[in-house]
Structure 1
Amino acid sequence: MKLSDFDFPLPNSLIAQKPAKKRENSNLLIAGANNPLVIDKFHNIIDYLLPGDLMVFNDSKVIKAKLILNKSEKKVELYLNKQIIDNQWYGFAKPSKRLNPGDQFDFDGNKIIIMQKLGMGQVEVKFELLNLTVFEFLEKYGETPLPPYIKRKEFLSEDISRYQTVYSKNPGAVAAPTAGLHFSKDLLASIKAKKVDIVFITLHVGAGTFLPVKTDDIAQHKMHSEYYQIDKITADKINKAKKDNKRIIAVGTTSLRSLESSTIAGQIQATNVFDEAENGDFSNLALLNNPDFEVDALNEKGCSLLHYAIGHNNPSTGEHLIKYFHANPNIATVQSGRVPLHLAVDTQNINSVRMLLDCEADPNIQAKMGKNTPMHLAAAKHQHDSPASLEILKLLIEAGTKVSILNSASLLAVDCLDSKTFDELLPSFTKYIDTGNTVEEKQKRLGETISELIFATQYYSPEPAHPMTNLDKNMKTHEKYKVVFDKAREGDFSGLILLNHPDFEANALDGEGYSLLHYAVFHDYDNIGEYLISYRHVNPNIASINNGEVPLHTAVLAQNVDSVKMLLDCEADPNIQFNDSGNTALHLAGAIHWREDSDASLNILKLLIKSGAKISIHNNTGLLAIDGVDPDIFEELLPSFSEYINTGSTLEEKQERLIETIFELVFTARYNSPEPSTELTNCVKQQKAKELVEKLQEMYESEFAIELLVFLI
C-alpha cells in the first residue's frame, strides 16, 4: 500500500477549529455497505442503537504532556510519550534540530535535561524536580496537546475540559480518543436507559499519533507503541456478547485496535499487569482504578506490583502506587517475607529507599528468612564498599531504625561497621531526635537513641563486638550484665542497648545493690531515667537491697533537680523512708538546705511539696522532715503547698488536699520554739479535728484559708 492511496483533499472549512457549544450537537455521518450516506446530529446516535448492544469506550485521560522549551529565544515543543525509569522519559520534539544533548531548561528551579536525540524527532529527557512528581510538574507547567490539524494560535481555557471525554478516568494519554468527545453525560444516561451495555477499556494514545507519515510505502512507516488494558470482567462481558450474537460497537479506533490486539482465537484476552511489571514495563500501572483490582495482590511468584517497581528502580511509580492507589509500603513477599524496603536497600537504590521512608515504610521489619532488617542489609553492603551504602545507612537511622535488633544468626545490624563509620553516622542519630514534632517526642527519641546505641556495641574497643559474646550466660543477672552496670556506675550508658535482650531484667540490681535507674539519676541523666521508667517499665520506687534507698533519695542527695522533677513526674513516691534512718526525700532535702542553703536544695524542697511530700513524718530519731528547715524559709514554700492543693484534678480532690495540708501544718507548727505548739497539738489530740475540718470546708474558697496557713506557721 502506498501513502498516495490514502491521500484525498479535505477542505479546511470542514476542519472545526473550535468545538460546538454542546458536545452532542456535532455532525454524525452514518455509512453502510448497501445504504446511502446519512448526515445526522450526534445526539441522535441513540436511534441507531438497539437494546442488548455492547458499546466499548476508551476511558484514557489526557495529561498535559506538551511543554514549551525556550532556547535562544526560539520555542521548541516537547511532547512526552513514554516513561523510561523514574524521572526519565521519551518524547518528541518539534523541531528537534534545535536541541542538543546536555541542553537544560529551567522551570522555577525545576530542570528538564536533554539526554540524547534518537532520530525521527524522538528525544530522551530527564527531569530534576524540586519535591514534585513528573505528573505534578506537568499539571503545573504543561499544556494539553491539541491535534496538529487545529491550526489556531490561541489556547482556550475550555480546551482543557473539551479535549477530554466526560468519562475519562485513567491519566496517561497525550491525545484524546476523539470519537468519544461527542458523548455528554446526558447522552450516556439515555443510552444506558435504552438497555445498551457499556464497558470501558484503556488505551493511552501516544505522541506518535501527531507524527506525519514520511514514507511512501506504508509498510515502512514505524508505528510507535501504545499501551492498553482490558480487565477480566470486561473481557468476559465482550466474549459473552459475541457468543450471544449481540452487536459489539467499538467507540473510536483506539477501542477498536485494543480489541483487535487482545484477540486470540476469537476471544478477547484480559491484560496481565504483573507480566508487564515483572519485565520493567509500568506504563499500565495508571490503569489500576478498576474497583475490582487489588493493588496489594501478589502474583504466583509471591510479589506485589510495588516490589517490581522498586526492583526496577522506579520510585516514582512506587510512590504513585502508595499515594494514589494506597499500596501497602510494608507488603511482604510470600516466600522470604521481604518488604519493598529490603529490596531497595539490597539493590542500593537510594531514591527508592528515600521514597519508601517518606511514605512511612517501617525500617525495622525483619524478613521471614534470616530475620534481617533493612539496616542489616545496608551494613553488610557497606562492609563490601558499596558506594551508596553510607547514604542509605544515614537515611535508615534518620527514619528511626533500631540498631539493636538481632537477626537469626544473633548478629546486630552494626556488627560489621567499624568505628570510623559510626562517627559518620552519629549526626543522623541527632537528626532523628531533632525531627520529633513535640518536646515530648524528642525526649522519647533521645531516650530510645541512647539506649539503642551511642557508640553501639563497640564498648570502646577497636573492633565491633557483639556484647553478648563477652558475657557468661550462666551467671546471675547482676553478674551477667556486669559490663552494663560498671559503665552506668561511671556515667556511661552506652550499654543500655542490652535492655532489648529478652533475658535482661530491667529492674535488676548490681553487686552494689543498685539499679540502672539509681545510676541514671545519680549522674543526672533524667532523659535516660525517664526512658527506663516509661519505655522499659523500671519501677520508679525500686529500692537498694542494702538500705532501701530509692532513686528519689539518690537524686535528692546528689542535688540533681532535673532528675528529681523527672521522678516525681513519673509518680515516684516522695514519702518512702530509708530502711536504716527512716528519712524521706523531704528529710534529706531539708537537711541539705539547712547545710548548704543553695538554689538547688530550695527548688527540690518546692518540687517535693508540690508532689505531696508529707512534712509530718518522723524519722527513726523522731525528727520531722522540716526540723532542719529555717522557719523563715516557710514563706517561700507556701506557694508550693498552694500549688499541691490546686493541682487536684477535681473539686473534691482539691478540698481533700486542702484539709490534708492544713493538718500537716497544724501538726508541725512552731511558734519559734523547738517543740510543737502545745495548744495546736492538743487540738488534734483532743479530737477537735472534726470541728476544725467543718470550719475549713466552709471557708474553702475564701482567701482566709491561705491566711490561716500563714498564721499557723
Structure 2
Amino acid sequence: MSVPTADDLLSSYDYELPPGRIADQPADRRDASGLMRVDRDTGTISHDQFSRFPELIRPGDVLVVNQTRVIPARLLGRRKQTGGKWEGLFLGTDDAGFWRLIGKTRGRLTEGEAISLTAAHDPDAPELDLILNSRGDNGEWHARPSTAGGALELLEAYGTVPLPPYIQRQLATRDDWERYQTTYATRPGAVAAPTAGLHFTPEVLAECERRGATIARITLHVGIGTFRPVSAERLDDHVMHSEWCEVDAEAAQVINAAREAGGRVIAVGTTSVRTLESVAATGPLRAWQGETDLFIRPPYEFRVVDAILTNFHLPKSTLLVLVSAFAGRDLILKAYHEAVASEYRFFSYGDAMLLT
C-alpha cells in the first residue's frame, strides 16, 4: 500500500470555524450575499458582493444551474405501538411503490409496525400511518402509506423542509419553504438544496443573459449523503453516496456550443460540477441520465468545468475536497481562513465564492 500524501487524508481538509459564522437565516435579499473571488492562476483573493456577479460574466459564457427542487421530505410522527416520538426523512420510492425512509426513535423498530405522521404545519389534519414493510441496507426502511395518493402529494401535506442539522431550528418556517429553494427549481426530488443557486434572483439571471451568457439547466437530486459525515481518514476508503442526475440534449448542445466558441463553463454549485464531470467521464458531453457516485478529489483532471460558483462548505467534507481538487488545497484553505477573518457567512444560507 502506498504512503498517503496530505491530499489523500481527510484531516488535511479541516479549518476552525467559530459558531457565529454559521448562517442560520438567509440574507435579507438573495443577491445581498458576499462574494469571495479566488483566481487559481494568480492565487489572489478579492472581495465583492453577489449583486455584482453579472459584471464578471464574459460574452459566450454558459452558466450551468441545477434545477432540482427540494421536496418536504422531513417527517414527524410517533410509533403507534409505544407512543414514542419518531422523526424521519423520505428518500424516494422503490420499484414496488414503497416509501424509502430513514428515521430515529428510541428503541428498535420492527417489521409491520405503524408510524403515525402528523402534518407539520396543520395540527388539526388527520394523521397518516406508515406501515413498515422491510428494512434494507444502511438502516433504510421500506414503508407503505395508509392513504392512497402520490408520494409528493402526501409529502406536501405531511412533510416539511429538511433543513441541514447546523441550522438549529426545530421546524422550518414558511420563509424557509421559499428561501431554501432556488428561484429556478422545477424538478422535485432533492432532500437538500443546491445552495450556490440560492443567491440568484430572476433579475440577476436575466442580467447575466443580457451580458452575453447562456443558461443551461441540468438536474441532480441531492440525496441523503449530503447529511452524512465522512468517516474514513483515507479518502481512498470513502464510499461516495449515489445521486441521480441528468443532462438533457438541449443543455448538452448549449454547453458544447459555448465551449467550441471559447466561452467558459461556469458551474453553479458542486452538484452541477458532479453532473457535468460524471457525464464527461463516459465520453463527450451529451444527453445522459443515471446514478453517479463520482468522488472528485485531488488529483483530478476536470474535463468540462472552467469556473465554479459555490458556497463555503463544512470542514472535512467531500465538497471541500471537491473545490480543493479544482483550485488546490492550499489556496482553498487560505481562502477559508481569510473568509473566517473577514466574517463571511458559512454554509447553506451563507455567502458565495467564485473560483476561476
TM-score by length of 2: 0.71
Q: Following the alignment from structure 1 to structure 2, what is the Cα–Cα distance between the partners of residues 131 and 119?
A: 26
Cα separation, partners in 2 of 1:68 and 1:248, compared to 1, 3 Å:
same
2:85 aligned with 1:75: yes
2: CA distance between counterparts of 1:103 and 1:135? 23
Checking the alignment, whether the CA contact within 8 Å between 2:68 and 2:185 is kept in structure 1 is yes
1:106 aligns with 2:124: no
Where does residue 145 of structure 1 map in the other structure?
Answer: 162
Tell me the equivalent position of 1:327.
Answer: none
State the distance in 1 between where 2:217 and 2:106 align: 36
**How far did residue 29 of structure 1 move?**
1.1
1:40 to 44, 48, 51: 48
- How big is the shift at 1:162? 0.4
Distance in 2 of aligned mates of 1:88 and 1:96: 23
Amino acid at match of 1:81: L
- Verify: 1:89 aligned to 2:99, yes or no: yes
Work out the CA distance in 1 between the residues paired with 2:106 and 2:155. Answer: 20
Aligned length: 273
Retained in 1: the 8 A contact 2:90–2:102? yes
Q: CA deviation at 1:267?
A: 1.8
Equivalent in the alignment of 1:378 = none
> Could you say which residue in structure 2 is the equivalent of 1:4?
11
SS in 2 for 1:10: coil
Per-residue deviation, 1:86: 4.0
Partner of residue 22 from structure 2, selected from 9, 15, 36: 15
- Give the structure with the higher percent helix: 1
- Residue 262 of structure 1 aligns to a residue whose secondary structure is helix
**Given the two structures, how large is their TM-score scaled by the length of structure 1?**
0.37
Which residue, out of 216, 227, 251, partners 1:210? 227
Q: Give the Cα–Cα distance (whole angstroms) in 2 for the partners of residues 99 and 30 of structure 1.
A: 49
What CA distance in whole angstroms lies between the structure 1 residues aligned with 2:116 and 2:167? 28
Cα 1:266/1:105, change in 2 over 3 Å? closer
Q: CA deviation at 1:190?
A: 1.1
Give the distance between the partners of 1:168 and 1:202, measured in 2 at CA.
10
Q: How far apart are residue 147 of structure 1 and its match?
A: 1.2
How far apart are 1:35 and its partner, in Å?
A: 4.1
Instruction: Please say if residues 81 and 89 of structure 1, whose CA atoms lie closer than 8 Å, have aligned partners that are also in contact.
Output: yes
Deviations, residues 14-53 of structure 1 (Å, cap 9, x unaligned): 1100001100001111111214211221111112111111
Structure 1 pair 223–262 and aligned structure 2 pair: CA distance change class (3 A): same
Structure having the larger proportion of residues in strand:
2
Residue 76 of structure 1 contacts residue 98 of structure 1 at CA under 8 Å; is this kept in 2?
no
- Give me the whole-angstrom Cα distance separating, in 1, the residues matched to 2:289 and 2:201: 31
SS of 2:163's partner is: coil
Q: What SS does structure 2 have at the residue aligned with 1:254?
A: helix
Structure 2 residue runs of 5 or longer lacking an equivalent are 1-7, 118-125, 292-356
Superposed, which structure 2 residues align to 1:689-704 within 5 Å? none
Identity over aligned pairs, percent: 37
The correspondence of residues 221-260 of structure 1 with structure 2, limited to 5 A, is 221-260=238-277
Alignment of 1:119-158 (within 5 A): 120=138, 122-158=139-175
| CA shift in 2, pair 1:58/1:272, >3 Å | closer
TM-aligned CA distance change 1:220 to 1:80, over 3 Å:
farther
Listed as ranges, the matches of 1:169-318 within 5 Å are 169-264=186-281, 267-271=284-288
Question: Residue 263 of structure 1: CA displacement?
Answer: 0.8
Q: CA RMSD in A?
A: 2.1
- What code does the residue aligned with 1:114 have? L
Aligned partners of 1:97, 1:118: CA distance in 2, in Å?
A: 18
After superposition, give the CA deviation of every residue in 1:259-310 in whole Å (9 maximum; x if it has no partner). 000015762121268xx9xxxxxxxxxxxxxxxxxxxxxxxxxxxxxxxxxx
1:244 Cα deviation from its structure 2 partner = 2.0
| Deviation, structure 1 residue 203 | 0.7
**SS of residue matched to 1:267:** coil
Cα distance 1:206–1:252, how it changes in 2: closer, same or farther (>3 A)?
A: same
User: Which residue, out of 74, 80, 102, partners 1:66?
Assistant: 74
Change (3 A) 1:95 1:53: farther
C-alpha distance after superposition, 1:573-605 (max 9, x if no partner):
xxxxxxxxxxxxxxxxxxxxxxxxxxxxxxxxx
CA drift of 1:73 comes to 4.9
Contact 1:90 1:123 in 2 (8 A): yes
Matched, 1:51 2:59: yes
Equivalences for residues 421-436 of structure 1 within 5 A: none
> In 2, distance between residues paired with 1:223 and 1:78?
22
The verdict on how the C-alpha distance between 1:263 and 1:166 changes in structure 2, with shifts beyond 3 A counting, is same
Q: Whole-Å Cα distance in 2 between the matches of residues 212 and 163 of structure 1?
A: 21
Change (3 A) 1:271 1:101: same
Report if aligned partners of 2:64, 2:217 keep a CA contact under 8 Å in 1.
yes
Residues 193 and 250 (structure 1), Cα distance of their counterparts in 2 relative to 1, 3 Å cut: same
d(CA) in 2 for partners of 1:93, 1:119: 13
Q: CA deviation at 1:183?
A: 0.4
Q: Bigger CA drift: 213-222 or 234-243?
A: 213-222
User: 2: CA distance between counterparts of 1:199 and 1:7?
Assistant: 33
Q: Which amino acid aligns with 1:158?
A: D
Q: Equivalences for 1:397-546 in 2 at 5 Å?
A: none
- The one-letter code matched in structure 1 to 2:218 is I
Deviations 1:329-357 (A, max 9, x none): xxxxxxxxxxxxxxxxxxxxxxxxxxxxx
SS at structure 2 position matched to 1:229: strand
Do the aligned residues in 1 keep the contact of 2:163 with 2:172 (CA within 8 Å)? no
Output the CA distance in 2 between the equivalents of 1:69 and 1:30. Answer: 44
Partner of 1:116: 134
One-letter amino acid of the structure 2 residue matched with residue 51 of structure 1: P
**Residues 243 and 264 of structure 1, relative CA distance in 2, 3 Å threshold:** farther
Q: Contact (CA 8 Å) 2:90, 2:100: kept in 1 or not?
A: yes
Q: Cα distance, 1:154 vs. partner? A: 4.6
Cα deviation 1:507-537 (Å, max 9, x = unaligned): xxxxxxxxxxxxxxxxxxxxxxxxxxxxxxx
Q: Deviations over 1:235-277 (max 9, x none)?
A: 122122222221110000000000000015762121268xx9x
Instruction: Give 1:320-331 correspondences, 5 Å limit.
Output: none
